[in-house]
Amino acid sequence: MWCEYRIKAILYNKNDAADSLECYSDSKLSPYKIQCTYSNAGLGGIISKSFELPDSIYFIRDIKKKIPKIHKELYPEVFENLDKQYIHMRVVDYMNLDNPENENPETYKYKVFRGANEYYVYKYKDNKHIIEVILGFDPSVELYD
């Protein structure tokens, strides 16, 4: 299975909305690196610093190994008769690190039809995470809300 990816993570300081860390990786531009930019647009003006996330390659490899497993566990029927179609996946994880995970997370799985597009959606919710995985056969998955 060939895998192309874009990773984007935005972290905000809950005590200072102007304080953020944005990290990004793209398999075409920097296949083994995650670049981060720290920004604070507070009262003293905009402060911005860029750096590479240490040991990025291990994080990226781990994600790439998990993607086929996630697809097959969530919607095995998506893999039947693909005939060289591309599968696009978007994963959004909203986290509150102050909350503990609970032992009985809620999970949901359903299909959504929007015009000619069909999406497969999986949601996982506990006290710490709300994770949404969206699968589809066209790039509009990235725009799904």
Specify whether 23 is located in the same domain as 56. yes
Give the pLDDT band (50/70/90) at residue 38: confident
Specify whether 93 is located in the same domain as 114. yes
For residues 114-127, give the mean pLDDT. Answer: 85
Q: Which residue has the higher pLDDT, 100 or 43?
A: 100
Three-state DSSP class for 36?
strand
Q: Kindly report which listed range (9-13, 104-108, 118-122, 131-135) carries the lowest average pLDDT score.
A: 9-13
Burial-class residue 134 by CB neighbours within 10 Å (0-12, 13-18, 19+).
buried
For residues 37-58, give the mean pLDDT. Answer: 77
Average pLDDT, the chain: 76
Specify whether 56 is located in the same domain as 93. no
For residues 50-57, give the mean pLDDT. Answer: 81
CB of 124 closer than 8 Å to CB of 101: no
Number of domains in the chain: 2
Q: What is the domain extent for residue 49?
A: 1-72
